[in-house]
């Protein structure tokens, strides 16, 4: 999908960043509560994101993630009124950015974020190692600086899981042999004791 952002959209995105990251003040220096500032930042990010600005799409998804992590404890996530909506929007805007063909840096950022989400089962996404690898491979292709490291880590985790499964299979496969050998040893010891008792009786 190719969407070109306009100078006006870029200005909206930059304005959103000012509201988001300027503590207690509007871009023109007036006092503003954090709640008002964040609400304005979200509004402007959404305008730019819906107009196709790739970094605004990433920023809005990240903004929702930040809100969830700051305001919702793990046990209460399912009880949050808008939690599912936040998760849907995180997936929606990261996916839009990941499919951007005009800006590989923005696409790589979104692909890395989606890979991380699928790797850990974060933000309403079910854990899916194959999907995680797919997005991380895309991010590597687009030269994301941390994607290869995370992908290598994921590959090692997958390899470790496979080895554990193989070891358990081998253990189960040969367990009957070990059990049979133990029975033989016990039987042999028992016969040996019996013979020893018989010899002592004969001597007497």
Decide if 16 contacts 41 (C-beta within 8 A): yes
Query: Buried (b) or exposed (e) across 146-155, using 16+ Cβ within 10 A?
Result: ebeebbeebe
For residue 199, pLDDT beyond 70: no
Q: Provide the residue ranges of all domains of the chain, joining segments of one domain with +.
A: 7-145, 163-204
For residue 18, pLDDT beyond 60: yes
For 176-186, write each residue's pLDDT tens digit.
555 555 556 55
Domain 7-145 classification at class level: mainly alpha
Tell me the C-alpha distance between 166 and 84, whole Å: 38
pLDDT score recorded for residue 2: 46
Please tell me whether the overall predicted TM-score, pTM, comes out greater than 0.85 for this model.
no
For residue 35, pLDDT beyond 60: yes
For 79-132, write each residue's pLDDT tens digit.
677 788 899 999 999 999 999 988 999 999 999 999 999 999 989 899 999 999
Res. 1 pLDDT band, cuts 50 70 90: very low
Going by C-alpha positions, the residue among 109, 132, 118, 117 that lies closest to residue 54 is 109
């Amino acid at each position: 999908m190719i969407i070109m952002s306009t100078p006006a959209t870029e200005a909206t995105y930059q304005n959103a960043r000012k509201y988001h990251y300027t503590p207690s003040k509007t871009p023109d220096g007036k006092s503003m509560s954090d709640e008002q500032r964040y609400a304005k930042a979200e509004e402007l990010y959404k305008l730019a994101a819906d107009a196709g600005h790739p970094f605004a799409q990433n920023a809005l998804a990240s903004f929702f993630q930040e809100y969830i992590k700051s305001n919702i404890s793990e046990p209460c996530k399912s009880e949050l009124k808008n939690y599912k909506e936040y998760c849907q929007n995180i997936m929606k805007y990261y996916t839009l950015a990941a499919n951007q063909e005009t800006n590989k840096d923005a696409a790589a950022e979104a692909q890395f974020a989606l890979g991380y989400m699928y790797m850990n089962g974060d933000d309403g996404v079910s854990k899916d190692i194959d999907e995680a690898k797919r997005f991380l491979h895309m991010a590597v292709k687009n030269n994301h600086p941390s994607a290869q490291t995370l992908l290598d880590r994921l590959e090692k985790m997958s390899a470790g899981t496979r080895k554990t499964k193989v070891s358990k299979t081998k253990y189960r496969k040969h367990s009957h042999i070990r059990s049979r050998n133990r029975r033989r040893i016990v039987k042999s010891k028992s016969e040996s004791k019996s013979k020893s008792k018989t010899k002592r009786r004969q001597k007497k």
